[in-house]
Amino acid sequence: MATAAQAYDREDAVDQDAYERAFDAAVAADERIEPRDWMPDAYRATLVRQIAQHAHSEIIGMQPEANWITRAPSLRRKAILMAKVQDEAGHGLYLYSAAETLGTGRDELLDKLHTGRQKYSSIFNYPTLTWADVGAIGWLVDGAAITNQVPLCRCSYGPYARAMVRICKEESFHQRQGYELLLALSKGTPEQHAMAQDAVDRWWWPSLMMFGPPDDESAHSAQSMAWKIKRHSNDELRRRFVDICVPQAESLGLTLPDPDLKWNEELGRHEFGEIDWTEFKNVLKGNGPCNEQRITQRRQAHDEGAWVREAASAYAGKHTETGAARA
Ligand SMILES: [Fe+2]
Ligand SMILES: [Fe+2]
């Protein structure tokens, strides 16, 4: 005869199956999974990992461009750049909040970033050497981010998908300001044109690496596609990005640094040269030109902001006490 505990276990297993079937059916029907819904542990863990990496990239990404705020060539350019860098902080906030709905707090995620247990996009480990880099980042890096992120607006997890809708609108403004900045330089003096070309030469390949490793080496892709977190493969998105950039580079009057780049009539898309994955892996391992500087500055900013967090929580505590006293 089964003990009460065994019977309970069996009932529990039946419930688990039912929950899993409901989850699978919701994903298959393109319905959104919401924070209170049952979800497989691995789905939750994958989302936390991806959203955290994304949030970290937004806030670390503020550094290379913030480097140019004090040296922007005009008031107009400075105002635009400050707005953009602030937007990126906002993107970080939306995303840390989305991760919070999965039960993982911002403190824990920041701690993982600061101790190197979670990553951010490798693109931000490259330096911004000239003013034109601000344009190249907007055009190429924000452009690649949009290509990656527009499909995430249809991601199966509700809070992440909704955060992406707003983020993508702002990224689109970022991409356009970068394009407009590069256009002004490209049509300027020969020195300005050369500066724009040099920036594009340095940022082109790293921006192609932003789509992640090739499909056959991408560890998490298949499962993420099945869960509809990811909608398109890395290579598919990378090809889409190249097709978007080629005519834009022509309008800018700039060239892309790839001698193998050509239109393939039969495939209806551009072919492009081999990506240097050794460089990608090396930067990912922490050996990029700015890895150390980025994380040191991030830790420093966090420590210097401790008093703000303490003041905010003291204020919130006071507010709760007053509210409780009034009730
Ligand atoms: Fe952003
Ligand atoms: Fe952006």
What separation in Å is there between the alpha carbon of 14 and the centre of ligand 2?
46
Judge whether 241 and 211 are in contact, CB under 8 Å.
yes
Q: Each residue's pLDDT tens digit in the chain (327 positions)?
A: 444 445 555 556 668 889 999 999 999 999 999 999 999 999 999 999 999 999 999 999 999 999 999 999 999 999 999 999 999 999 999 999 999 999 999 999 999 999 999 999 999 999 999 999 999 999 999 999 999 999 999 999 999 999 999 999 999 999 999 999 999 999 999 999 999 999 999 999 999 999 999 988 877 778 898 999 988 999 999 999 999 999 999 999 999 999 999 999 999 999 999 999 998 889 988 889 999 999 999 999 999 999 999 999 999 999 887 666 665
> 31 to each of 36, 50, 240, how far by Cα in Å?
14, 20, 26
What separation in Å is there between the alpha carbon of 87 and the centre of ligand 1?
7
| Residue whose structure tokens are 């953009």 | 84
What separation in Å is there between the alpha carbon of 91 and the centre of ligand 1?
5
Residue type, 42: A
- The per-residue pLDDT for 2 is 47
Number of the ligand closest to the Cα of 134: 2
Number of the ligand closest to the Cα of 64: 2
d(CA 41, CA 304): 36
* Alpha carbon 214 to chain centroid, angstroms: 18
d(CA 165, CA 151): 10
- The per-residue pLDDT for 219 is 72
Number of the ligand closest to the Cα of 58: 1
* CB atoms inside a 10 Å sphere around CB 27: 19
- The per-residue pLDDT for 222 is 83
Q: Which residues contact 172 (CB under 8 A, 6 or more apart)?
A: 146
What separation in Å is there between the alpha carbon of 166 and the centre of ligand 1?
10
What separation in Å is there between the alpha carbon of 138 and the centre of ligand 2?
7
Q: Which residues contact 232 (CB under 8 A, 6 or more apart)?
A: 151, 240
Q: What are phi and psi of 264, to 5 degrees?
A: -105, 105
- The per-residue pLDDT for 25 is 95
Number of the ligand closest to the Cα of 65: 2
Taken in order 298, 303, 306, 307, is the CA torsion positive or negative?
A: negative
What separation in Å is there between the alpha carbon of 242 and the centre of ligand 1?
20
First to last CA, the chain: 54
Summarised one tens digit per residue, pLDDT across range 232-254 is 999 999 999 999 999 999 999 99
What separation in Å is there between the alpha carbon of 86 and the centre of ligand 2?
10
DSSP type of residue 33: B
**pTM of the model as a whole:** 0.91
Kindly provide the b/e burial profile for residues 276-295, where b requires at least 16 CB atoms within 10 angstroms of the residue's own CB: eeeebeebbeeebebbeebb
- The per-residue pLDDT for 1 is 46
User: Angle at CA 194, nearest 5°, toward 189 and 197?
Assistant: 130
